[in-house]
């Protein structure tokens, strides 16, 4: 029997990859290594590696299925600037990387327990150089603003799947970031009521 194709595909990744790339174009460095957390299928990293060939892309995900998918997408598309995916749980105190010039995490903060976001911001503060950015993409609550109905439903469905998941208050994320030397430097409205959030290492 032929081996099953390990490549995963996410329809939302195909929809949001270009708007996210437009945001990245404004904030990523001209060269260096971009570390992606929670790479999932790997379709984002492959797309970005093609659009930004001067950057080295380091994908990661704690899920073995995701890492197999990323590796196979990278092989299929012959991407020389995509490194072998790493096993990184953002909540872990020690990550198997020493530095990164920029970091991205797409749709991770609301689909992982809060300690993963805390770990992400702590490690960003340790791994990034001064001026280095961490770019987050996903839905967020804002202080004093009601969630739009579609995100109220989405939040309920996330919490039903896992009570530790849910749409986070951006101000809470900002507060954790501040403790790690990361300042919120831009918030961009993105399609489907998502935000592109940029933190910069001070």
Q: Which residues bind ligand SAM (CB under 6 A)?
A: 10, 13, 37-41, 44, 61-63, 66, 89-91, 106-108, 111-112, 116
C-beta of 5 vs 202, nearer to ligand SAM = 5
The residue among 46, 37, 34, 35 whose CA lies nearest residue 10 is 46
In angstroms, rounded to a whole number, what is the distance separating the alpha carbons of residues 151 and 167? 8
Q: How far apart are CA 91 and CA 120, in angstroms?
A: 7
Smallest separation, CB 2 to ligand SAM (Å):
26
Residue 66 Cβ, how far from ligand SAM at the closest point, in Å? 5
CB closest to ligand SAM, residue no: 40
CB closer to ligand SAM out of 16 and 31: 16
| CB 90 to ligand SAM: min, Å | 4
137: which 2 tokens? 């993409």
Q: Which residue lies nearer to ligand SAM by CB, 150 or 202?
A: 150
Phi, psi angles (nearest 5°) of residue 159: -65, -30
Taking alpha carbons only, the member of 176, 58, 42, 48 closest to residue 109 is 176
| Length of the chain counted residue by residue | 202
* Nearest CB to ligand SAM, comparing residues 116 and 170: 116
Q: What is the DSSP letter of 107?
A: S
Nearer to ligand SAM, 10 or 186 (CB): 10
Smallest distance, ligand SAM to C-beta of residue 154, A: 12
- Cβ proximity to ligand SAM: between 131 and 156 the closer is 156
DSSP secondary structure string, 122-137?
HHHHHHSPTT-EEEEE
Q: How far is the CB of 144 from ligand SAM (least distance, A)?
A: 27
Residue from 50, 31, 39 nearest 10 by CA: 39
The tokens describing 54, both together, are 């001067």
CA distance linking residue 177 with residue 175, whole number of Å: 5
Residue 120 CB, nearest distance to ligand SAM (Å)?
A: 7
């Amino acid at each position: 029997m032929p081996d099953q194709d390990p490549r995963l595909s996410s329809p939302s990744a195909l929809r949001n990859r270009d708007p996210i790339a437009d945001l990245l174009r404004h904030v990523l460095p001209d060269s260096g290594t971009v570390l992606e957390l929670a790479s999932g299928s790997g379709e984002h990293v492959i797309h970005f590696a093609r659009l930004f060939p001067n950057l080295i892309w380091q994908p990661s995900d704690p899920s073995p299925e995701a890492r197999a998918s990323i590796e196979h997408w990278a092989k299929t598309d012959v991407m020389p600037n995509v490194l072998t995916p790493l096993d990184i749980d953002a909540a872990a105190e020690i990550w198997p990387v020493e530095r990164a010039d920029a970091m991205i995490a797409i749709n991770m903060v609301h689909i992982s327990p809060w300690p993963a976001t805390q770990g992400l911001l702590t490690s960003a503060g340790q791994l990034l150089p001064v001026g280095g950015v961490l770019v987050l993409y996903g839905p967020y609550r804002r202080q004093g603003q009601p969630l739009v109905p579609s995100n109220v439903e989405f939040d309920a469905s996330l919490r039903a799947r896992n009570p530790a998941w849910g749409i986070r208050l951006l101000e809470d994320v900002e507060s954790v970031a501040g403790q790690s030397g990361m300042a919120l430097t831009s918030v961009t409205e993105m399609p489907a009521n998502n935000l592109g959030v940029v933190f910069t290492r001070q």
